[in-house]
Amino acid sequence: MSEPTGVIHDIGYQRYTGPRLGRRHVFGALYLHGLRTVFGLGRTAKAKIFPWLVVGIVTLVAAGITAVRSQIGEVVMTYAQFADSMSWLVIFFVAVAAPELVSRDLRSGVLPLYFSRPLPRDDYPLAKLLALVSAIWLLLGGPQLVMFLGAAFTTDKGMSGVWDELLDLLPGLLYAGLWAAVFASIGLLVASLTGKRAFAAGGIVAVFLMTTPIVGTLSILPSRTINELAFLASPSTLVGGVGTWALGDLLVPEGRGGGVPIGDFGPVYGVAAVLLVAACVALLLLRYRKVAAR
Amino acid sequence: MSTVSWITARGLFGRRRFLMLLPLPLVLVALAVLCRSLGVDPGQWGPPVLVGLGLAVVLPVVALIVGTGVLGAEIDDGTVVHILTKPLPRWQIVLPKLAVAVGVSAATVAVPLYVAGVLADSVRLGLALAAASALGALAYSALFLALSLVTRRPVLLGLVYVLIWEGLLGNFVSGTKVLSIQQWVIALADRMAPTELLSTTVSVPVAGVLTALVSVGFTVLAIDRLRSFSVAGETS
C-alpha cells in the first residue's frame, strides 16, 4: 500500500485576531434582541399586530384619561389605578410575548447554538426574563408618562404643580415595575415548558385567569384572616396588596377608597411577592439546566 | 365512530399536555365544596364561582385549547395533509372533529358545573348549568375551529375575543354583551332554572337564536375554508 500523496495547501485563510466581545456583550445582544422580538421590531407586519394592538389600546385609554382631566379637571384614575385596570391587557400581552421569546427557540431546536457561545447557561433565561420585564414596564410606564405630560402642561400651579405631579408619577412607575417583575417571571416560566406557542399562550392565560375568581371566593369566606390573606391567591391582587402596603398613600390618595383591604398582613404580601418571583426564576433556571443538557 | 374522530381523540388525549386541562374543573369543584362546607350563603359565593370562574374562565379557556387543538395542531405540524388527501368530503373531516371538540369540552366543563350548581342551589340549577354550558361549548368550539382555519394564529385571536371582547369590553360597554357567547350561556341557564344567582341583560330568544346561528354559521365557514386550504409553514 503506497503512502498517501495528498497535500494540504495553505490557501491563505487567516485566524481571527481582533478583539473578542465577552459574556457581557452576548447578554446585551440577547436582551436587545428579546426586547425587539416582544414588540415585533425587525420582523414581518404579522408579528407586530398583537403587541401593537395592546400598546395602542393602552395608550388610547391613557390619552382619554388625560383629555378628561385637562378638560373637566376630574382625576379619573391615578397612576397606580391605571396599572390595575389594565391587568387583562397585561395578561394578554404576556401571553403574546412570552411564547414568542422562549417557545420558538425550544421548538426549532436552536438552543445548542446559543450554548456553544461563551454564554453561561443561566444567562440565556435571565436575558429573556429581563427583556420581558422591560417590555411590560414600558407598556405600563409609557402611558403613565403620557398622563404625566398631560397633567404637567395643564397644571395651573406653575412649577410646584409639575413637581407634585412628578412625585405622583414616580411611585406609579415603581408599581409598574412590580407588575412587570411578577407577571414576566410567571409567564416566562409557563412558556418555557412547551415549544408550542399556542399551548404556551393558553397556559399563561389559564394560570392568570383561574386565580382571580379564587380570590373573589376566598374573600367572602366567614373568616377575617382568610379574607385579608385572600389576595395572595392571584398575581394581580398580590401586586395590588404589595402596592397598598409598601407605597400606600402614594398610590391612592386619601378618600378615593382604593387599595386592597389587606389589614395588618402587609409584610406577608411583600415576602410572598419576593418569594413568588424568586421561585419562578429558580424554576426557570432549573428548566434551562435540563433543556441545555439535552 | 369514524376514523377521523378516532384520530382526533387520540391526538387530544395521547399527549401529556391534556393533563393541563384538569386543574381548571378541579378548582371549580374544590371552591364550591369549600364554600358549601363552611356554610357561606350561596347568594354570595354563587356568582363568583359559577359565573366568574365557571362560565367566564373555565368554559372559554377549555373550549379554546380543545377547539383550536383538534385541527390547529395538525395544521401546525403539517399532518393535516394526510387527511386532506384522502377521498373524503370536507364536511366529513370538519364535523367529526367538531363533535370530538364539543364532547371533550362539554364533558370537562358540564360535570364540575353540575356539581357546583347542585351545591349552590338545586339539582335543577345544576342540570340547567350543565345543559347551557354544553350549548356554549358547541358555540365556542365552532367559533375556535373556524378560527384555526381562517388565521394562522387562532389561539391569540381567540384570546382577543375571550379576554378583550367578553372580559374587558363586556364590563365597560354593555352593548357588546349582545354578541358574547358567555352572556348567552348565562341567559339560557337562567331561563332553564330561574334563580337569583345568574343575571344578564341579554334576552332568552336572542341568546338562543344567536347561539344556533354562531354554531351553524362557523361550522359552515370552517367547511368552506377547508375546501380551498393552502398548506404553509409556520408564521413569522
pLDDT tens-digit series, residues A272-288: 999 999 999 999 999 88
pLDDT tier for residue A68 given thresholds of 50, 70 and 90: confident
Q: pLDDT averaged over chain B?
A: 85
What average pLDDT does this structure show over A91-107?
90
pLDDT above 60 (res B119): yes
Sequential DSSP letters for chain B: --HHHHHHHHHHHTSGGGGGGTHHHHHHHHHHHHHHHHT--HHHHHIIIIIIIIIIIIHHHHHHHHHHHHHHHHHHHTTHHHHHTSS--THHHHHHHHHHHHHHHHHHHHHHHHHHHHHHT-HHHHHHHHHHHHHHHHHHHHHHHHHHHH-S-HHHHHHIIIIIIIIIIHHH-GGGGGG-HHHHHHHHHHHHS--SS---SS-HHHHHHHHHHHHHHHHHHHHHHHHT--------
CB nearest to A220's CB, from B27, B40, B156: B40
Q: pLDDT averaged over chain A?
A: 85
Q: What is the pTM of this model?
A: 0.87
pLDDT at A285: 92
Closest by Cα among A138, A139, A165, A169 to A154: A165
pLDDT tier for residue B56 given thresholds of 50, 70 and 90: confident
Nearest chain A residue to B154, by CA: A198
* Domain residue limits, chain A: 23-293
What average pLDDT does this structure show over A187-211?
87
Cβ distance B50 to B197 under 8 Å? Answer: yes
Cα separation, B88 vs B90, in Å, equals 6
What average pLDDT does this structure show over B212-236?
82
Identify the burial level of B100 via C-beta atoms within 10 angstroms of its C-beta, where 0-12 means exposed, 13-18 middle and 19 or more buried. Answer: buried
pLDDT at A276: 92
Give the whole-number percent of chain A exceeding pLDDT 90.
27
pLDDT above 70 (res B228): yes
Selection from A76-90, A199-213, B89-103 with the highest mean pLDDT: B89-103
pLDDT tier for residue B140 given thresholds of 50, 70 and 90: very high
Nearest chain B residue to A195, by CA: B17
pLDDT at B1: 62
CB nearest to B17's CB, from A44, A92, A199: A199
pLDDT tier for residue A181 given thresholds of 50, 70 and 90: very high
3-state secondary structure chain A: CCCCCCCCCCCCCCCCCCCCCCHHHHHHHHHHHHHHHHCCCCCCHHHHHHHHHHHHHHHHHHHHHHHHHHHHCCCCCCHHHHHHHCHHHHHHHHHHHHHHHHHHHHHHCCHHHHHCCCCCCCHHHHHHHHHHHHHHHHHHHHHHHHHHHHHHHHCCCCHHHHHHHHHHHHHHHHHHHHHHHHHHHHHHHHHCCCCCHHHHHHHHHHHHHHHHHHHHHHCCCCCHHHHHHHHHHCHHHHHHHHHHHHCHHHCCCCCCCCCCCCCCCHHHHHHHHHHHHHHHHHHHHHHHHHHHHC
Is B110 at the interface with chain A, CB within 8 A?
A: no
- CB-CB neighbors (< 8 A) of B163 in chain A: 88-89, 91-92, 205
Which of B26, B29, B65 is the best substitution to test chain A (most A C-beta atoms within 10 A)? B65
What average pLDDT does this structure show over A1-8?
77
What average pLDDT does this structure show over A139-149?
90
pLDDT at A250: 63
A206 and B153: CB-CB below 8 Å? no
pLDDT digits (tens, 9 = 90+) for B7-46: 888 888 877 767 777 888 888 888 888 888 887 777 778 7
Q: Where is pLDDT greater, at A133 or B121?
A: A133
* Domain residue limits, chain B: 3-227
What average pLDDT does this structure show over A84-112?
88
Cα separation, A42 vs B230, in Å, equals 26
pLDDT at A129: 94
pLDDT tier for residue B123 given thresholds of 50, 70 and 90: confident
- CB-CB neighbors (< 8 A) of A206 in chain B: 20, 24, 57, 61, 65
Sequence-ordered list of residues with C-beta below 8 angstroms from that of B116, at least 6 positions apart, any chain: B28, B29, B31, B32, B49, B50, B54, B126, B129
Sequence-ordered list of residues with C-beta below 8 angstroms from that of A1, at least 6 positions apart, any chain: none
- CB-CB neighbors (< 8 A) of B66 in chain A: none
Cell 370562574 belongs to residue: B53
pLDDT above 80 (res A151): yes
Q: Name residues 9-68 of chain B within 8 A of A (Cβ).
A: 17, 20, 23-24, 27, 31, 34-35, 38-40, 44-45, 48-49, 52-53, 56-58, 61, 64-65, 68
pLDDT above 60 (res A254): no
pLDDT at B234: 53
pLDDT tier for residue A115 given thresholds of 50, 70 and 90: confident
Question: Over the Cα atoms of chain B, what is R_g?
Answer: 18
Is A193 at the interface with chain B, CB within 8 A?
A: no
- CB-CB neighbors (< 8 A) of B162 in chain A: 205
A197 and B155: CB-CB below 8 Å? yes
pLDDT above 80 (res A69): yes
pLDDT above 80 (res A117): no
pLDDT digits (tens, 9 = 90+) for A223-233: 777 777 888 88
pLDDT at A282: 94
